[in-house]
Amino acid sequence: MNECLRQLVETFGPSGHEHRVRALIADLVGGHVDELRTDAMGNLVALKRGDGTGQRLMLAAHMDEIGLMASYIDEKGFVRVQPIGGVSPWLEVGGRVQFQNGSLGVVSHDKLGHGEAVPPMEKLFIDVGAASRQDCPVGLGDVACFVQPMVQVGGLLTAKAMDDRVGCAVLIETLRRLAATPHDCYVVFSAQEEVGTRGAVTAAYGVAPDVGLAVDVTLAGDVPEPAVRMATALGAGPAIKVKDGGMIATPWVKDWMIDVAQAEGLPWQLEVLPGGTTDARAIQTSRDGVPAGCLSIPCRYVHSPSETVSPADLGHAVDLLVAMLRRPLPR
């Protein structure tokens, strides 16, 4: 799965520009599903058909990553930007980004004002090595994302876009390993999650599932002084979400995950996240309401160029999902 993850994280795919990730995933799951289609929002919807005795499930992981959009190019050829998704300017500074046309750039910022410790977004610029506006290889509306190869750091893996290509990798591997299931499993690789779960909103309406599950990253509390005090730790198993800033997991869906993890002897932990949300919120609040939950991969340094996960958690997430999907639902 590590090689699959490397391909996924190193592929360009800011929100609304997921086409390369979509093509890669279509390639990777092609032989393992009964149907594959792309909808108008850019979601890739894969269907693995059940044996007719189960229910209609939607599993979602988002293909998009945070990024920057060129909003103004000055006379010297420096590019001003607006954020795509939850971009922290201070995590961009000094980093390298790449535009869709391959142009590379370095992110820096204007002189800070008195008492200004962190540059606001308006002070960020990208140096693409241009000499003038005319010479600039980037146009208005062009989007960029971090450039970072995936590397191994001790026993951990670090890359850009682990959020949420780890979720994509887990669902791809689940589809590959899921030989037979009672359920019609609609696996949605969703678009535009980072700008407000927009792809999952329309996908959930279209699929109209009986139950929904998202697979996404969550914050890890196992760093020296975490910004958010959380019980989650890398390597302690996938985290079963209780709540986040946008969703309270449907209790029986949460318990379903816990019960199967325990029955299979798999490691798991609970996630109680104060802010943020996932595609599970979009599924849960679609139509007249859908029971929904989320399986999370603990991740350090979320929305930085060095999002860091434990490969063991990915493997255990796949084990758990495969075990869940092979059984009848608890209700």
**Near Zn ion by CB under 5 A, which window of 1-9, 30-38, 72-80, 210-218?**
210-218
Place of tokens 């509390």: 221
163 near Zn ion, judged by CB under 5 A: yes
Nearest to 214 by CA among 259, 168, 260: 168
164 near Zn ion, judged by CB under 5 A: yes
Q: Which two tokens stand for residue 310?
A: 């434990």
Q: For residues 66 and 87, is the Cβ–Cβ distance under 8 A?
A: yes
Residues whose CB falls within 8 Å of the CB of residue 125, separated by 6 or more in sequence, listed in order: 74, 78, 79, 80, 81, 107, 108, 109, 110
**Near Zn ion by CB under 5 A, which window of 9-17, 78-86, 216-224, 312-320?**
216-224
- Nearest distance from C-beta of residue 126 to Zn ion, angstroms: 24
Q: Among 65, 92, 142, 216, which residue interacts with Zn ion (rule: CB under 5 A)?
A: 216
- Nearest distance from C-beta of residue 199 to Zn ion, angstroms: 12
307 near Zn ion, judged by CB under 5 A: no
- Total of chain residues touching Zn ion, rule CB under 5 A: 3
Burial (Cβ within 10 Å: 0-12, 13-18, ≥19) of residue 56: middle
Catalytic residue among 193, 194, 271, 307: 193
Q: Which two tokens stand for residue 179?
A: 């030989």
The torsion defined by the Cα of 326, 320, 206 and 62, in degrees rounded to 10, comes to -150
65 near Zn ion, judged by CB under 5 A: no
x-marked contacts with Zn ion along 253-292 as a string, rule CB under 5 A:
----------------------------------------
- Nearest distance from C-beta of residue 283 to Zn ion, angstroms: 14
Q: What whole-number distance in Å separates Cα of residue 197 and Cα of residue 189?
A: 12
173 near Zn ion, judged by CB under 5 A: no
- The residue with its CB nearest to Zn ion is 164
Residue 10: active-site member: no
64 near Zn ion, judged by CB under 5 A: no
**Near Zn ion by CB under 5 A, which window of 134-142, 196-204, 212-220, 264-272?**
212-220
Q: For residue 205, how many other CB atoms are within 10 A of its CB?
A: 12
Closer to Zn ion by Cβ: residue 45 or 63: 63
**Near Zn ion by CB under 5 A, which window of 44-52, 84-92, 156-164, 196-204?**
156-164
| Range list of β-strands (E), 27-161 | 35-38, 44-48, 56-62, 67-73, 79-84, 96-99, 104-109, 124-127, 143-146, 151-153, 156-159
Q: For residue 72, how many other CB atoms are within 10 A of its CB?
A: 12
- Nearest distance from C-beta of residue 262 to Zn ion, angstroms: 27
184 near Zn ion, judged by CB under 5 A: no
Give the up-direction half-sphere exposure of residue 241: CA atoms within 13 A in the CB hemisphere.
32
142 near Zn ion, judged by CB under 5 A: no
Amino acid at residue number 193: E
Closer to Zn ion by Cβ: residue 184 or 194: 194
Catalytic residues: 193
Q: Which residues bind Zn ion (CB under 5 A)?
A: 163-164, 216
